[in-house]
Amino acid sequence: MRKSNLHFCGYNDTINKIMKRGMDMLSKELCEKVLEVAASTGADYAEIYANRTVHHTIHMIASKVDAVKDSVIAGVGIRVFKGLRSVNTSTVDTSEAGLIRCAQQAAEALGQGTAQIDIHLTPMTIRDIHPVRQIPAQMANAEKVAVLKEAYFAAKEHDSAITQVTGTLVDVDHNILVANSEGVYAQDRQIRTRMAISAVAEMGGETQTGSHAPGSRKGMEMFEEIQPASIGIHAAKQAVVMAGAGYCPAGVMPVAIDNGFGGVIFHEACGHSLESSSVAFGRSQFADKLGQQIASSKVTAIDDGTIPNAWGSINIDDEGTPGRRNVLIENGVLKGYMIDKMGGRRMGMAATGNCRRQEYSFAPTSRMTNTYIAAGTDSREDIISSMEYGLYAKQMGGGSVNPVTGQFNFAVTEGYMVRNGKICEPVRGASLVGKGSDVLMDIDMVSSDLAMGQGMCGSSSGSIPTNVGQPMIRVSSITVGGR
């Protein structure tokens, strides 16, 4: 990659391409016509969302490229609102007749009535804050395979205990268009690249796994900053360490959760419960708590869709609202929620640039972008040395939450026991469970080393890229599942 002779696409070129591509997707005139049909039975809001997305995946196992997947996902979703009711229809038929049919279906489902709103679209120029240099779609398979192999074999050859490695390189070229009755007519091109390496190690009959999967809203230039080999080595090291680990003891103890993907604890324990899809529908423990202390004063948490080139970043959300930086919790006090237009109607609040959907066939809703606990003032060393007996959770797996009760769980994929302020032996099979409102109050130390990790977040509007993040934190007491 570092010696690629590909066309380098500058900032202005990127804007031009976005605009041109957008115009190719659906013209302003066609969108106006379709929105008029959609709103013809009395809707007070009508919206068209179109996406044309090219997914490209290269997969390796047993040291060979065994699958290459190439697919084009393209279609249109139409939504209409009337008061607190919403109707969503979608189609793969993007001909004018197909779109009109889809709009009629939405209008009929909304009910009987006459048009209440006028449709006038104004093309919106988006400032692309996530410029991409090496567009993956313009690169040959062979060049991408070379990058994947660098990571793959770094893992395979890291240690003789490594028995199997799988590797995936995914690039997504996601073009969206949003047109709505508020006059928005906007397009965005979201290019994302991600590599995932998973390694299996076997020692003395025990099998364990390690994985690493960095991604970004960039093209192949992401591998200039992250050496592919480092991804493989990260995965392999973890597998080897864990293969030599015993089971984590069960109990209630203090836990130091490392920076980066450790932020999944906030994502699960709190983030989902601050989405308007929970708050506005009586399914959040944090409803009606604005201005109240919901976390320890050490905790400031932010959802920021505007971090340049970050995995969860957007220029506009999937309702056309520009991405924003939203402070959710400041020094423990609840400051805001993540709100889409319909959630905003129920809550009497404005949309916050958090409306997202996987693609046209999913009804959009409030989702996270890049969500993190802000840097604090403690040091990592102080956190570890403060613990007489506890767990150091170096690497987290995923987790889940029930926003109604706030009960969450997540997996520790690489953990170590801490005794007398020292990191000791590795332990496997640990998970952390608790209640969001409790764990937020129990975060009693926050270090200064903020970092992010990448994930795909699954919810009612599909699977979307989100960043989680935090500095190292200490939770004074939490249930550790083990044996």
Partner 1 sequence: MEYLAFKDLVIAKAQEMGLAEYEIYYQSNSGIMANAFGHEIDQFSANSDGGVCFRCIVKGKMGYASTEELSPEQAASIVEKAMDNASVLEAEEPVFLVSGGQAYTPIQRENPSIPLAQDLVQRVLQVQGMLYATDPAVTEGSITRGIGLQGRIAICNSKGLDLDREYTTNAIMVGAVVTDGTDKANDYQLEIGDIAQIDAQALTRKATGIALSKLGGEPAPTGVYPVVFDPEAMSDLLDTFSGIFDGEAAQKGLSKLKGQEGNTIASDVVTVIDDPFHPENPMSMSFDAEGSPTYRKNVVEKGVLKTLLHNLQSANMAGVATTGNAYKGKYDSPVGINPFTMHIAPGEWTEEQLLEKAGNGVYIRSLSGLHAGANAITGDFSLQSEGYMIENGQKTTHVNGFTVAGNFYDLLKNITAVANNLTIPSPTGITTYGSPSVLVENLSVAGK
Reading the block at residue 431, the tokens are 């998970």
Q: Contacts with partner 1 in 425-444 (CB under 8 A)?
A: 428-431, 433-435
Interface with partner 1, residue 323, by CB under 8 A: no
Sheet containing strand 301-304, strands side by side: 333-334, 325-330, 301-304, 370-373, 462-470, 451-459
**CA 358/CA 73 separation, integer angstroms:** 11
Among the listed residues 7, 8, 92, 125, the single contact to partner 1 using CB under 8 A = 92
Interface with partner 1, residue 250, by CB under 8 A: yes
**CA 184/CA 320 separation, integer angstroms:** 7
**CA 272/CA 290 separation, integer angstroms:** 16
Interface with partner 1, residue 283, by CB under 8 A: yes
**CA 64/CA 167 separation, integer angstroms:** 10
DSSP annotation of 363 reads: -
Pattern 19-58, binding to partner 1, x per CB under 8 A?
A: ---------------------------------x--x--x
Q: Contacts with partner 1 in 330-389 (CB under 8 A)?
A: 360-361, 363
Instruction: For residue 192, give the nearest of 450, 469, 471, 467 by alpha carbon.
Output: 467
Segment interacting with partner 1, rule: CB under 8 A, options 8-16, 35-43, 85-93, 125-133: 85-93
Residue 304 or 340: which CB sits closer to partner 1?
A: 340
Cβ of residue 215: shortest distance to partner 1, in angstroms? 18
Residue 50 or 329: which CB sits closer to partner 1?
A: 50
Interface with partner 1, residue 207, by CB under 8 A: yes
Cβ of residue 348: shortest distance to partner 1, in angstroms? 16
DSSP annotation of 22 reads: H
Instruction: For residue 128, give the nearest of 183, 67, 187 by alpha carbon.
Output: 187
DSSP annotation of 332 reads: T
Q: Contacts with partner 1 in 164-183 (CB under 8 A)?
A: 164
Among the listed residues 7, 20, 85, 419, the single contact to partner 1 using CB under 8 A = 85
Among the listed residues 24, 66, 225, 381, the single contact to partner 1 using CB under 8 A = 66
Among the listed residues 69, 120, 419, 422, the single contact to partner 1 using CB under 8 A = 69
Interface with partner 1, residue 137, by CB under 8 A: no
**Whether 233 contacts 210, CB under 8 Å:** no
Residue 279 CA, distance from chain mean position: 20
**Whether 228 contacts 153, CB under 8 Å:** no
Interface with partner 1, residue 402, by CB under 8 A: yes
Cβ of residue 300: shortest distance to partner 1, in angstroms? 26
Segment interacting with partner 1, rule: CB under 8 A, options 25-33, 70-78, 125-133, 375-383: 70-78
Cβ of residue 369: shortest distance to partner 1, in angstroms? 21
Interface with partner 1, residue 405, by CB under 8 A: yes
Type of residue found at 273: S
Instruction: For residue 444, give the nearest of 390, 386, 393, 405 by alpha carbon.
Output: 386
